[in-house]
Structure 1
């Protein structure tokens, strides 16, 4: 008889832990979130490793994430700030990170796109495949509540409402549009994830080489400084 309440309690705790999400201002790596089985690391059942793509908008611009936090579009085919890493953080939900800027695409509660230095809840976007073959990316946490017209499915006194989603959008001038002004059928909200070309792969290789060289140079400098401090320590004489 004692075992039954214990099993119920353990099942409830497991359900709660599996629904944990990042707090509104909490920074976390999307690939370090726990999956449905409670395991840390990548979402193995969603493919795990990030996809490297260039998001080509139907307005003929590539989405860019700059190091200074700016979001815009580029007509250039070989722009390094257009190379993205798209990582699944939940079923149908992704995080989009600029590979060269190291920043995440995000949308705030005013509908403005910005580049965040750390991953947070505003960096989560619902990815959907449009009927024309393009993808749309809607903010997971920000949208507009719109009341249904009278007789639109609510029989009570309280009128029902629907959520109008806010989409990532680049207009015909290469500028981002505010989320509440977008629709899923707008050309500015439709993106084609393009695989990287040979020049893109070459830029990625050079980036990795430069990062590796910087890492090794930093460690060599640290070792030299430690040896210098050790020699100075041995050269000192204790006070008489």
Structure 2
């Protein structure tokens, strides 16, 4: 008789446990924070493993994240810096990470896009699906506060409508636009998430093989060095006893 109430209690505690992974003011892996259930209508596809996509802007540029922290657009069809991992951190909210750069797309309080080495609140973007398959990505925490119209009242709904969101945007020259200059209807703010092609998958495979080789070399190199140190230590002790 106690099994069902216990399951209900655990389901209620699950969001609390998930939030505990990310204490305020500390960075964390967004995969630990996502709502794995992916509930929320059109956002059900956000649950589960990260999606690997290339974000193709309506201005004909692929969004790319550089290892040095720079954000811009590329006209190259097969550019490793354009391969992204999109991970849900909440219902309708995602983190976008450059697979090859290892950095997260972020927007600061000045509306500038940058690439962060660690995940933080500026890396959270509200993903909205628009017609023709294009998406927009708006900063979750930064926006423009607009004055309410005369006689607008003070309801929460009217206050929410007074905020103008700041969007990820790549202009016709491949440069990021400041968030406060963007609109959801601008071509520069519309992105088509493209699935990876064969050449993209090949680049990902080579990256994975390279990382595995580095890990293997580091692991076995460390073990060899430890064995050498132990051998030198035993040899030194033997010489001391002989003296």
TM norm. shorter chain > 0.5: yes
- 2-side partners of 1:103 and 1:19: how far apart? 23
- What TM-score do you get using the length of structure 1 for normalisation? 0.84
Gaps of 5+ in 2: 1-8, 39-45
* Correspondence for 1:81: 81
CA contact (8 A) 2:34 2:88 kept: no
Q: CA deviation at 1:209?
A: 0.6
Gaps of 5+ in 1: 1-9, 36-42
- 2-side partners of 1:236 and 1:138: how far apart? 64
CA contact (8 A) 1:23 1:121 kept: no
- 1-side partners of 2:31 and 2:224: how far apart? 35
CA contact (8 A) 1:122 1:139 kept: yes
- 2-side partners of 1:18 and 1:235: how far apart? 52
After superposition, where does 1:1-240 map in structure 2 within 5 Å? Answer: 14=13, 17=16, 20=19, 22=22, 25-33=25-33, 35=35, 43-45=36-38, 46-151=46-151, 153-154=152-153, 162-237=162-237, 238=240
Q: Which is helix-richer, 1 or 2?
A: 2
- 2-side partners of 1:217 and 1:136: how far apart? 42
Q: CA deviation at 1:219?
A: 1.0
* Correspondence for 1:5: none
- 2-side partners of 1:223 and 1:229: how far apart? 10
Deviations 1:45-81 (A, max 9, x none): 4421000000000000000000010000000001000
Q: CA deviation at 1:34?
A: 6.5
Equivalent residue pairs, number: 220
- What TM-score do you get using the length of structure 2 for normalisation? 0.83
CA contact (8 A) 2:34 2:87 kept: no
Deviations 1:72-98 (A, max 9, x none): 000000100000000111100000000
Q: Which moved more, 1:161-170 or 1:103-112?
A: 161-170
After superposition, the Cα gap between the structure-2 partners of 1:34 and 1:55, relative to the gap in structure 1 and judged at 3 Å, is closer
- 2-side partners of 1:113 and 1:102: how far apart? 16
After superposition, the Cα gap between the structure-2 partners of 1:25 and 1:212, relative to the gap in structure 1 and judged at 3 Å, is same
Q: CA deviation at 1:223?
A: 1.1
Q: What RMSD over aligned residues (CA atoms) do the two structures have, in Å?
A: 2.4
